[in-house]
Structure 1
Amino acid sequence: MDPSENSRNANVDNSQSQRETRDLEGAQVSRAEAGEAEAIATTSDGLGSSQNAQRASSPSTAGVLSVEASGSQIEGLDPDSPRPEIINSKAVDLVLFLLLKYRRRQPTCKAEILYMVMRGYEEHFPVIFTKASECLRFTFGIEIIEKNPRLHSYSLVHALGLTYDGMRHGFPGVPKVGLVIIVLCIIFIEDNCASEQELWRILNNMGLYAGRDHFVYGDPGVLISEHFVQEGYLECREVPGSDPPTKEYLWGPRAHAETTKMKVLKFFASIFKQDPRSYPTRYADALKDEIERA
């Protein structure tokens, strides 16, 4: 191949990677900046109490659900519907209720949700449920699976097939799967190997800092450099010949065993409601991985 063509391809790949990195940063920034004090109180102290999970609506909690992917749902509400902040507040109530169910390893159903969380707002179930589902998925790494469409019964599972929830780490009782997925996405986007400097540059832009407690994850630095490595989701190694010594992160053996590049890419693309093929370089890498696994 012509060297100039190789150079052009490299430039295209680099530009694509930079765009994907910016996308990931943008998806998380608003979440990290919104409602931190309220989230700390409700997630670290209140998950064990059904009173907190079923508390009265409070517009001040709406920031916890600052998830870009769910914003379009509110725009389509009927003019006579409750104000967006009220819908957001009910979605926060539902998130806390579902986190309580997750912690207790209990299933739930539409009828229970309507009775326990949405009395007076039954007709707005679809939009509230969608917003809460997206918050659980993108922030906590928890997915809602409908087990019985006729009864509308649901179970709560880890996204991407991961088995670790990190409930004992950081703020006790709060799942940390979301941060695992964020880091796996960054590593994948960074051509399957992210330098410690680049990883934290991106995480800092999301409002995540080593040594500073985050409202969901606790200290991300401890989680990433210690727990995620110990749990086998990350591999941390010293860059050969680096002076001063620097580290880089790769997927660990447990990540490779439990999930795939394609699942991570699809999760990443779903944040922006895009087809994974919108990221051709990463899609080709993920497809190659699928073929090698077959």
Structure 2
Amino acid sequence: MNPSENSRNVNQDSTQSQRETRDLEAGEEQATATTSGDVLDSSQRASFPYIAGVPSVEASSSQIREDFDPDAPSQHILNSKTIDLILFLLLKYRRKQQTCKAEILYMVIRGYEDYFPAIFTKASDCLRLTFGLEVIERNPRVHSYSLVNALGLTYDGMHHGFLGVPKIGLVIIVLCIIFIEDNCASEQELWRILNNMGLYAGRDHFIYGDPGVLITEHFVQEGYLECRQVPGSDPPTREYLWGPRAHAETTKMKVLKHFASIVKQDPRSYPTRYADALKDEIDRV
């Protein structure tokens, strides 16, 4: 291969890698905006008293049922029911309890049974993206469910940031950003992407608390992130890599597939990242 062909291939690889990064960023920002904007932002009116105090979700559902006509539910009422289901499932997660479709229908969305598939799907998507929790069907015969940490991560962050709320979703988001940034994200690039998602260091987020403290302190202390100073940087700047616990508990392929499922894409749609993840799988054998 002559030098010009080699240079052209390098440029093509670089361009493709940049495109994949932009696609992944846009997809993550869009998925976050869609899920959080449609559901979680409106839950600020009610969600944290329930999460922190764990009162009855049925009580809030009963009040909503009195205010709306079940024969013609608006998007607002369906979003409200989705919020109620998210809070109900988070309560079950905290108590390490299973639930089932019959209990959900009675306790949470009674009167709106016909809309169970749509409400359940939207709640599951939100739990996966924002909280890093997967809804697993344990018994298809009775439709029983439980929540588990996504990607095999063992940390839930319940005692960090906003107490009692899982922070696994933020761990996964940061691991994904590092992965798409060629496995090493500068502090500036990391926060550029997080800022686009409405997360700012030093500013409390109604799910995560202060993301800056979580990322720079707790996630590093827990071994999910490695933070190091960029050699020769002036003024000193930092960069982030996956920590040993992240490498031990999950894989690049799992992170890529998790993200791809959120943005409804095939992981192979990102060939550069897929090749990197595949090589990581082979190296682990």
Asked whether 1:265 is paired with 2:256, we answer yes
Q: Is the 8 A contact 2:28 2:263 kept in 1?
A: no
Q: Which of 44, 50, 59 is the aligned partner of 2:55?
A: 50
Q: CA deviation at 1:22?
A: 2.3
Aligned to 2:192: 201
Give the Cα–Cα distance (whole angstroms) in 2 for the partners of residues 279 and 120 of structure 1: 43
Give the Cα–Cα distance (whole angstroms) in 1 for the partners of residues 165 and 73 of structure 2: 30
Q: CA deviation at 1:45?
A: 2.7
Asked whether 1:230 is paired with 2:221, we answer yes
Q: Is the 8 A contact 2:81 2:108 kept in 1?
A: yes
Asked whether 1:211 is paired with 2:216, we answer no
Asked whether 1:105 is paired with 2:109, we answer no
Give the Cα–Cα distance (whole angstroms) in 2 for the partners of residues 283 and 165 of structure 1: 27
Give the Cα–Cα distance (whole angstroms) in 1 for the partners of residues 151 and 58 of structure 2: 26
Q: Which of 29, 41, 60 is the aligned partner of 1:25?
A: 29
Aligned to 1:63: none
**Cα distance, 1:58–1:220 mapped onto 2, change above 3 Å:** farther
Amino acid in the other structure paired with 1:236? C
Aligned to 1:16: 20
TM-score with structure 2 length normalisation? 0.90
Asked whether 1:287 is paired with 2:272, we answer no
Q: Is the 8 A contact 2:39 2:83 kept in 1?
A: no
Aligned to 2:105: 114
TM-score with structure 1 length normalisation? 0.87
Aligned to 1:179: 170
**Cα distance, 1:169–1:39 mapped onto 2, change above 3 Å:** farther
Amino acid in the other structure paired with 2:60? R
Q: CA deviation at 1:284?
A: 0.6
Give the Cα–Cα distance (whole angstroms) in 2 for the partners of residues 182 and 209 of structure 1: 14
Name the SS of the counterpart of 1:55 in structure 2. helix
Name the SS of the counterpart of 1:46 in structure 2. helix
Q: Is the 8 A contact 1:46 1:53 kept in 2?
A: no
Give the Cα–Cα distance (whole angstroms) in 1 for the partners of residues 231 and 58 of structure 2: 49
**Count of residue correspondences:** 274
Structure 1, unmatched stretches of 5+, are 60-79
Aligned to 1:123: 114
Q: CA deviation at 1:35?
A: 6.7
Q: Is the 8 A contact 2:184 2:241 kept in 1?
A: yes
Structure 2, unmatched stretches of 5+, are 66-70
Q: CA deviation at 1:194?
A: 0.2
Aligned to 1:153: 144
1:223-282 deviation per Cα after TM superposition (whole angstroms, max 9, x unaligned) = 000000000000000001111110000000111111110110011111111110111110
1:9-61 deviation per Cα after TM superposition (whole angstroms, max 9, x unaligned) = 222222222222222222223455567775446443322323246513659xx
Amino acid in the other structure paired with 1:223? L
Percent of matched pairs sharing the same residue? 68
Name the SS of the counterpart of 1:50 in structure 2. coil
**Cα distance, 1:161–1:91 mapped onto 2, change above 3 Å:** same
RMSD: 2.0
Aligned to 1:72: none
